[in-house]
Amino acid sequence: MSQEGHTEEELGIAAYLRQHPDFFVRHGELLADLEIPHDSGDAVSLVTRQISVLRERNEELRNRLQRLLDVARDNDHIFARTRQLVLDMLACDDADELLTELLAGLQQHFDLDLCEVILFDLGTDVPVHCRAIALQTVRERLPALLEAPVVCGLLRLDELEFLFGERAALVGSAAVVQLQHAHVHGLLAIGHRQRDHYRSSMDTLFVHHIGEILARQLAQRCRRATVRA
């Protein structure tokens, strides 16, 4: 039966070679007869083509490894700065000192000077560097900020004005962390002047961790709310 017009798959050649990768090792004399068209149009041997492919894959793997090492190095630096900030926060005696240390640490360790702490339904005992707002107000005006533990990226102008007030125009991108532990509920808003510093696709592990520590420490230092929205 003639094999003309049949593809390699139909003849089972490709499947056979996959199952017997040592075929050309056992039949090395065939390599000299094989020709593989190159992008330039010239014909090259199978061995030459394999070497080229392996070099390309090796280069790709090196690049991927370098990217992983860069990410790991950046994470190490962020972890070290986060650790120092958390230790400084844990050493504070009251809520006023805690928030003062938080703002100073974010500026010193992360070069961030756009930061706001907003607590909901706190009553009259409001720490310094903090704003008290009724939770119902936030639910009505900016419900999107309460939909996830952390919201990162570009925010709407009304959201930025709500969070940062007069300094809203300075914010290119922001990270908004929900603070919730025991009777404490609020938001930690961190702004950066660059539009691509905080992105919706970024890993939020460290900023979420800072928010969790802050919420727990505030719960120990702030009285339970006495008013409701």
pLDDT above 80 (res 224): no
Mean pLDDT estimate for the chain: 85
Question: Checking DSSP bridges between strand 173-181 and strand 43-44, what pairing results, if any?
Answer: unpaired
Confidence label for 48 from pLDDT (cuts 50, 70 and 90) = confident
pLDDT above 90 (res 8): no
Q: Which of 129, 108, 105, 126 is nearest to 117 (CA)?
A: 129
Cβ neighbours for 183, distance < 8 A, ≥ 6 positions apart: 219, 222, 224, 225
Query: Could you give the CA distance from residue 198 to residue 54 in angstroms, rounded to a whole number?
Result: 38
Question: By CB neighbour count within 10 A (0-12 exposed, 13-18 middle, 19+ buried), where does 200 fall?
Answer: exposed
Please state, for a pLDDT cut of 90, what percent of the chain lies above it: 61
CATH topology (fold) of 79-221: Beta-Lactamase (3.30.450)
pLDDT above 80 (res 71): yes
Tokens 């009505």 map to which residue?
A: 140
Query: What is the pLDDT at residue 2?
Result: 46
pLDDT tens per residue, range 110-157: 999 899 999 998 766 788 889 999 999 999 988 999 999 999 999 999
DSSP state of 147: S
CB atoms within 10 A of CB 108: 14
Confidence label for 229 from pLDDT (cuts 50, 70 and 90) = very low
- pTM beyond cutoff 0.75: no
Query: What is the pLDDT at residue 228?
Result: 40
| Contact of 85 with 109, CB cutoff 8 Å | yes
Please state, for a pLDDT cut of 70, what percent of the chain lies above it: 83
pLDDT above 60 (res 106): yes
* DSSP conformation letters of 161-172: HHHHGGGGGG-S
Query: What is the pLDDT at residue 205?
Result: 92
Q: In Å, how far are 112, 141, 191, 202 from 156, measured between CA atoms?
A: 20, 12, 13, 19
| Contact of 179 with 186, CB cutoff 8 Å | yes
pLDDT average, residue stretch 175-182? 95
Domain locations in the chain as residue ranges: 79-221
Confidence label for 42 from pLDDT (cuts 50, 70 and 90) = low
pLDDT above 70 (res 227): no
pLDDT above 90 (res 177): yes
Query: Could you give the CA distance from residue 187 to residue 77 in angstroms, rounded to a whole number?
Result: 25
